[in-house]
Structure 1
Amino acid sequence: MYQTTIALHRLPLHLTHRIYRFLHTTSSCYNLFALGSTALYTVHGTGVPWWAAIPLTTLLIRSVMLPVVFWSRNRMIRYARIKPLIKAWEFQYMKLSYFDSEKIKKLNQKRNELFHRHSCHPIGSLVLPLVQIPLFFIMTFVLRGMSGSSFLLFSGLNVPVEVSLAHEGIGWIQDLTVSDPIGFLPVCLGLISLINIQLNLDFYKEMVSVPIFLTRLAQGNALVFTFVSMQAPTALSLYWVTSSLFSVIQNLVLHFVKPLPYFPRHFKK
């Protein structure tokens, strides 16, 4: 084992990384983290410095997810088109037969048949967040590990520290393993997050009524996330800012390319 360690230290960093991952086998769950690491090293292996490789990898991963995004958007559009009919049914049944279990059962059956006919069951809306949220955390933990910082829960991921992150920055962020010294990226992250929250409120107000306390909670979380990023490695802040900016542009494109149909306001109640 000692000889193997010495041999690894004599190899170039990128080869050491590959052998390190080969010698330390992990469960299938951790293979997802290896995929995130591989994506970063693949882009960096083209000769791109880390300050550009991290945003480029983020854009690449988010672009790969676009088919799922458009699939989910098309389902949302179909659901919006039939929602006035569903609301009319619900109003009629609830008014005339609120305590009639048979009528309620019939309403649910008709509603499910309509969802099936138009391929727009609301449960399908969970697909996109079920893919995006784990991916977000995977890339977060991988970049934290590469920067020399890791959560205790994932301390066994065997993500090696990437020493070149310390000298492949740009401008005022030469060392990507430490936090942004002037706090520019965290502030950008907070502003972009708040913009994205407002866009979602404006674009989806015809689909769902969001309680004001949930809006304030989301805005508060964006501010908390800003302070968290002030303590995070700059490599991680680069990923968060790029991903958040992509979300804003994606929402704008979807709003104008695939707008949600408008339905009368009284159907919302």
Structure 2
Amino acid sequence: MRPSTRLPLSSLAVAPCARIPVYRRVQALPLPHISCRKASSSAALVDTIPGIAQNVDKVTHMLRIPMEYMHDTLHIPWLWVIPLSALAIRAILYYPITLSTRKALQRRLAISPLINAHKSWYLKDARNHARHDPSVGMMKRYRTAMRALRKDLQHRFDCGLGKTLLRPILQLPVFLTMSWNIREMLGIPGGTLKSLLYTMLGQELTEGMDAARQAALLFEPTMMEEGLPWAVDLTIADPTGTLSYAVSAIMMSQTLLSMRRVPGGSGSVLTRFLLVLSLAIGPLMVNAPAGLLYYWACSSGMALITNVILDWRYPLLRFTPCKRPLTNPLPKK
């Protein structure tokens, strides 16, 4: 038998404050300042709401300056300004983040053999502990050990989930901001998402002026004359419907490329949703302004080209067990 390690009660030192009644000890405690801190943090949050709205306008204006410079100073028509802007954003902002994410995915796949090699050992260890201590579930102990191992390896090789999700998290705000810029240049103030954002932040979208005056200040009349050959006026819908179905085809190509990159990814719920969304974009966006669809097609096309280049330069290799036969084949007669 194991000797008892519990100490007798007489050996425990009794603190002097233990002899004081409970209500006196409670009265002697300092008053908490929780309510004051909450009030101050709430007041600070209310004070920062207008600053958030102003920062949204600043970022929108900063992304619009290069487009206006190319058009007004370099005299480049909007037919080329929009794809050049999409290319610049993809090369300057997206490509470094996409490259970092791709390398993190490569490291994540490279450590998968280490994780798979520990599975049988941890499962055997969990079974042995289950024989001696049945109160602890075998599978619970196994999952806890595997989760700790996976977390430790991903942290050591800098390929955690946050690293791999960095690109889609940062890509959406920039795309929405550029879409707001294009909408304002087309004479469509703000948009549903921007109006919803300002409403949530408690700000007026027009900042003291009516929407018609704001749209007139931001509208670019040259958008009506410097469009595509089949859609010269970018402020109205494409009469042929080519742009909406081009966006649909590019999104479908991106989804199919990701399915080929990830084996077994065709059955996931997200992949099926993206396929349905890609098919629905064409008929749903037929009446959208041609300028907005043109930027969307350029941005999606640049993303598709970037993914193809990364798949060629930094492929995602799957590490699988060796398929070498265990016995040598019989010699041919």
TM-score between both structures, scaled by the size of structure 1 = 0.80
Give the SS at the match of 1:154: helix
Whether 2:259 is the aligned partner of 1:201: answer yes
92 and 33 in structure 1: CA distance in 2 versus 1, 3 angstrom threshold: farther
Alignment-mate amino acid for residue 182 of structure 1 = T
187 and 102 in structure 1: CA distance in 2 versus 1, 3 angstrom threshold: closer
Contact 1:43 1:57 (8 Å CA) reproduced: no
Alpha-carbon distance in 2 for matches of 1:36, 1:81: 38
* Distance apart, 1:188 and its partner CA: 1.4
- 1:54 aligned partner: 82
Give the SS at the match of 1:231: coil
- Counting only pairs closer than 5 Å after superposition, residues 181-260 of structure 1 correspond to structure 2 as 181-205=239-263, 209-260=265-316
Contact 1:43 1:56 (8 Å CA) reproduced: no
| Superposed CA offset, 1:72-130 (max 9, x none) | 11111111111132234346546763934555443333222211221111221111111
175 and 265 in structure 1: CA distance in 2 versus 1, 3 angstrom threshold: farther
| Structure possessing the higher relative contact order (Cα contacts under 8 Å, 6 or more residues apart) | 1
Give the SS at the match of 1:230: coil
| Superposed CA offset, 1:171-222 (max 9, x none) | 12110111111011112111111111101110122xx745354333211111
Of 103, 123, 127, the match for 1:74: 103
Alignment-mate amino acid for residue 235 of structure 1 = G
- 2:186 aligned partner: 147
**Higher Rg of the two aligned structures:** 2
91 and 130 in structure 1: CA distance in 2 versus 1, 3 angstrom threshold: farther
| Superposed CA offset, 1:217-237 (max 9, x none) | 211111222234312111111
Give the SS at the match of 1:97: helix
- 1:117 aligned partner: 156
Contact 1:197 1:218 (8 Å CA) reproduced: yes
- Structure 2: any 5+ residue segments left out of the alignment? 1-52, 128-136, 196-204, 207-213, 323-333
Alpha-carbon distance in 2 for matches of 1:262, 1:107: 20
Alpha-carbon distance in 1 for matches of 2:124, 2:266: 24
Contact 2:266 2:272 (8 Å CA) reproduced: no
- 2:229 aligned partner: 171
Whether 2:332 is the aligned partner of 1:262: answer no
Alignment-mate amino acid for residue 230 of structure 1 = V
Whether 2:98 is the aligned partner of 1:42: answer no
Moved more, 230-239 or 35-44: 35-44
Amino-acid identity (%): 27
Whether 2:164 is the aligned partner of 1:136: answer no
Contact 2:236 2:290 (8 Å CA) reproduced: yes
Give the SS at the match of 1:197: helix
82 and 35 in structure 1: CA distance in 2 versus 1, 3 angstrom threshold: same
Alpha-carbon distance in 2 for matches of 1:265, 1:201: 22
Alpha-carbon distance in 2 for matches of 1:90, 1:38: 55
Paired positions, count: 240
- 2:44 aligned partner: none
95 and 221 in structure 1: CA distance in 2 versus 1, 3 angstrom threshold: farther
- 2:3 aligned partner: none
